[in-house]
Structure 1
Amino acid sequence: MDIVSPEHHQASGFIDHCRVSVPGRTEVAGNHQDHQGGCVIASAVDRRIVCDAYVDAGSRIRVRSYGHGECSINLADPNCWTSRASERNTTVSLVRGMAAQLMQQGVELQGCTLDIHSDIPPGAGLSSSAAFELCVGAALAAIGGWRIIAHRDGVSLEDDIREKRLTPLHLSQMALHAERAFFGKPCGIMDQIACAFGGVILMDFANRVNPAISKVVLPPSCDGYTYLLVSCGSGHEDATSSFASVAQDMQDAADAFGVAQLRDISMGQYVNDIGRVRAEYGDLVALRGLAFFEEFRLVQRRVEALRRDDAQSFVYLTNRSSIVSAEHLQNVGFPGDHEDAMVTLALCQRVLAELTVPVDGTLCGSARIHGGGFGGTIQVVVPNDKVEPFVERIESLLGTGACMLVKLGAPGIRVESAAA
């Protein structure tokens, strides 16, 4: 992971200004796996949020996000660190949540202004909220005299806190708490870790709060493909309750077996006794529980495909994942008249079929719902020689600018400059 710390940034002592940037992320494989102990391949992307933090004489943390307005919290308020129901699903809740977490770890917060710019499109499934949380947290810590350092295995949180150090994992855990307890979204920690660590990584969430993280090297065969996101025409900013229902349904399926998470039983055990889930919680819960096992297996097979340098198999298995999302997880769209994501997915698959040389009917690329689902974007992997005709055809159907080319493997949190 690539973190650039200012040379003059000492282990203690405030600084007047710093610049922090954090990338967005894309979930390459592993839909709704993190909250049930599964595995995810994720990558930081070449879209970033940048924060210039300036210390000022006031008692407020003021955030000015260009294009998204301004908010602030008052450090002099004795109840400053308490989550507020009136702030649920708002930007200020994330600022308050990160400030509260930092204060609890001993960071001495100062009045400051955070000027934020971002080219991560909101509602596109690139985890703009996770990137925002991390950017705010890293900036507040840095101007408070704390160092942001690379993660090291075997070093305890207590040791780092004593030396006024924070790692990407520490910040990710704080951001998770801010999003769950203050913003009100029952998410897992996958988004935060992917943005914070950067690169392409495999996360194993057998321990959901402290997952095993390993680097993924994309083999040469992947160089023959381009990664695109196709806009559905509607974001998923208002889909918090739908995200929550997926997580809750999967947890209900685990509860039916008396386990903490679905990872704790085998697919065979689940399938052989799926009737108890149907009887107690209904068919949608049963299907979403089954989706966990199907996707978990598909992630393992895609990891194996990358290890043997077989991008074609990776693409094929990703199309299988798309079917699991649509049929089992049912997170592509909202049933009824607003099926933007489902229509976009169908059109992407149709165009890929048009571009495929008919040999065995296997699509030349893949298309699946991206991230948590319910709108946002469709993730499409296209052979390099098919990118131009794919984009031309899709944008003739969905409008100019519907396709966004995304590059994988961007660096994670960066403290890019500071002035004493």
Structure 2
Amino acid sequence: MRVADAFLAAHGRAPEGVWHAPGRVNLIGEHTDYNDGFVLPFALPWGVSAAVARRDDGVVAIRSLQAPDEAYTLTDLDRAEGWVRYAAGVVWALRDAGHDVGGADIVLDGDVPRGAGLSSSAALEVSVAVALDELYGLGLDRMTLARLAQRAENEFVGMPCGIMDQAASALSAEGHALFLDCRSLGHRNVPLDVSAAGYTFMIIDTGVHHELADGQYARRRQDCENAAKRLGVAALRDVTDLAAALARLTGDERKRVQHVVTENHRVEATVGLLRAGAVAEVGALLNASHLSLRDQFEVSSPELDVAVEAAVRGGARGARMTGGGFGGSAIALVPADRVDGVRDEVSRAYREREFAAPRFLPAVPSPGARRLA
């Protein structure tokens, strides 16, 4: 295993184990997680593997095969920089929560396409979290580990993400989507065997790398918090009379509320359709979600809009941007016999607009975090 070999070369000893956590794609339910709403992600075949061994001196040494010229040996976790803060933050969160976590040598190897909105950061965090949980005998359940990984990203990295990405990485099951109530953290796996109905999910990576920590994501979250306060509810999930709520709001706050409330309904409707085996009908909900994210939440981009429009024109039943937005990827529900046609149509549309060529990836519902060796 490549990451184990790299660990041996770096540290002169074998790791105590190798753990893997996947990236995720969100089928539907965007920007609802931090509004205490519903989401429906599933894990992907790509992720981050962590080869880890304990140290008895309290020091945390972190390196990545994707950054071979960077290696950090930290006695003070606050000195971590850049991508290293995602791993160091997990150690910090575990220790700050009162768990007896000592030092560790950590070598990472990831294959999640970076900047594509497929949550490479959560995969990194969760892989480290499950490794340290097992090595130090903490006995934490997967949701607790997901919440600690989220806390690392919120408080140590400074990215105010919701719980969806870490939960999807930690809790997903092969062949299923994870239906998650982001308030209660109640969850269940929903069968997602679209191939039996003659469909496949396609990820369209626009190649536009996004950086959610640049303030745009935080501003959208603040809009939602401001609107909830104005409406006198704990979170936008509690809005039950949308028309009355919209009548009390103006501007960006009004738009954000309209998206969040209707998106929650779309998640619940999607779960119902999947359980009923009505896979094709999910397409219309994907289309509606994208329009809402484009027009009401204003987090799309020209490349995402062209990808979605061209995918549907090429034969997809539906498509939408996925992830935080401002770039990244779209997901399309495509009849198995129209995959080539969708690829051709999206590629043609990109050439016409002189966009860089997109990348097409099959989205196969995959297992969550697990030990590999």
User: With structure 2 as the length reference, what TM-score do the two structures score?
Assistant: 0.87
Bigger shift: 390-399 or 283-292? Answer: 390-399
Could you say which residue in structure 2 is the equivalent of 1:42? 41
Could you say which residue in structure 2 is the equivalent of 1:296? 264
Distance in 2, matches of 1:411 and 1:291, equals 30
- Summarize the Cα distance change of 1:48–1:221 in structure 2 as closer, same or farther, 3 Å threshold: closer
- Summarize the Cα distance change of 1:48–1:347 in structure 2 as closer, same or farther, 3 Å threshold: closer
In the alignment, is residue 407 of structure 1 matched against residue 359 of structure 2? no
In the alignment, is residue 374 of structure 1 matched against residue 326 of structure 2? yes
**1:17–1:53: 8 Å Cα contact kept in structure 2?**
yes
- Summarize the Cα distance change of 1:186–1:100 in structure 2 as closer, same or farther, 3 Å threshold: same
Q: How does 1:197-276 map to 2 (within 5 A)?
A: 197-199=171-173, 200-207=177-184, 211-218=185-192, 223-237=197-211, 240-266=214-240, 268=241, 270-276=242-248
Q: How does 1:72-87 map to 2 (within 5 A)?
A: 72=72, 74-75=74-75, 77=76, 80=77, 87=81
Identity among equivalent pairs (%): 28
Q: 3-state SS of the aligned residue for 1:332?
A: coil
Distance in 1, matches of 2:126 and 2:194, equals 32
Q: 3-state SS of the aligned residue for 1:54?
A: strand
Q: 3-state SS of the aligned residue for 2:232?
A: coil
Q: 3-state SS of the aligned residue for 1:329?
A: coil
- Summarize the Cα distance change of 1:285–1:401 in structure 2 as closer, same or farther, 3 Å threshold: closer
Could you say which residue in structure 2 is the equivalent of 1:152? none
Could you say which residue in structure 2 is the equivalent of 1:140? 132
Could you say which residue in structure 2 is the equivalent of 1:115? 107
Gaps of 5+ in 1: 1-14, 147-163, 334-341, 357-363
**1:41–1:203: 8 Å Cα contact kept in structure 2?**
yes
Bigger shift: 109-118 or 23-32? Answer: 109-118
Displacement, 1:246? 1.4
Letter in 2 for 1:402: R
Q: Deviations over 1:86-144 (max 9, x none)?
A: 95xx2232233211222244544343321111111111111110111111122233332
In the alignment, is residue 346 of structure 1 matched against residue 323 of structure 2? no
In the alignment, is residue 195 of structure 1 matched against residue 169 of structure 2? yes
Distance in 2, matches of 1:317 and 1:238, equals 25
- Summarize the Cα distance change of 1:273–1:95 in structure 2 as closer, same or farther, 3 Å threshold: closer
Choose 1 or 2 for highest CA Rg: 1
Could you say which residue in structure 2 is the equivalent of 1:98? 90
Distance in 1, matches of 2:18 and 2:193, equals 33
- Summarize the Cα distance change of 1:98–1:313 in structure 2 as closer, same or farther, 3 Å threshold: same
**2:172–2:189: 8 Å Cα contact kept in structure 1?**
no
- Summarize the Cα distance change of 1:17–1:287 in structure 2 as closer, same or farther, 3 Å threshold: same
**1:271–1:290: 8 Å Cα contact kept in structure 2?**
no
Q: 3-state SS of the aligned residue for 1:228?
A: strand
Distance in 1, matches of 2:122 and 2:88, equals 14
User: With structure 1 as the length reference, what TM-score do the two structures score?
Assistant: 0.77
Displacement, 1:54? 3.0
- Summarize the Cα distance change of 1:119–1:16 in structure 2 as closer, same or farther, 3 Å threshold: closer
Could you say which residue in structure 2 is the equivalent of 1:54? 53
Could you say which residue in structure 2 is the equivalent of 1:312? 280
Bigger shift: 256-265 or 173-182? Answer: 256-265
In the alignment, is residue 185 of structure 1 matched against residue 159 of structure 2? yes
Displacement, 1:43? 0.4
**2:19–2:50: 8 Å Cα contact kept in structure 1?**
yes
**2:311–2:343: 8 Å Cα contact kept in structure 1?**
no
Bigger shift: 64-73 or 30-39? Answer: 64-73
- Summarize the Cα distance change of 1:16–1:203 in structure 2 as closer, same or farther, 3 Å threshold: same
Distance in 2, matches of 1:133 and 1:245, equals 24
Letter in 2 for 1:329: F
- Summarize the Cα distance change of 1:38–1:59 in structure 2 as closer, same or farther, 3 Å threshold: closer
Displacement, 1:60? 2.4
Distance in 1, matches of 2:358 and 2:170, equals 28
Displacement, 1:17? 1.0
Q: Deviations over 1:364-417 (max 9, x none)?
A: 421211111111111122111010122234335355562112211x11111222
**Where in structure 1 do 4 or more consecutive aligned residues deviate above 4 Å?**
56-59, 219-222, 398-401
In the alignment, is residue 388 of structure 1 matched against residue 356 of structure 2? no
What count of residue pairs does the alignment treat as equivalent?
351
**1:219–1:307: 8 Å Cα contact kept in structure 2?**
no
**2:210–2:328: 8 Å Cα contact kept in structure 1?**
yes
Displacement, 1:176? 1.0
**1:322–1:367: 8 Å Cα contact kept in structure 2?**
yes
Q: 3-state SS of the aligned residue for 1:372?
A: coil
- Summarize the Cα distance change of 1:253–1:238 in structure 2 as closer, same or farther, 3 Å threshold: closer
Distance in 2, matches of 1:352 and 1:62, equals 47
Letter in 2 for 1:74: L
**1:24–1:195: 8 Å Cα contact kept in structure 2?**
yes
**1:21–1:48: 8 Å Cα contact kept in structure 2?**
yes
Could you say which residue in structure 2 is the equivalent of 1:277? 249
Q: How does 1:355-370 map to 2 (within 5 A)?
A: 355-356=314-315, 364-370=316-322
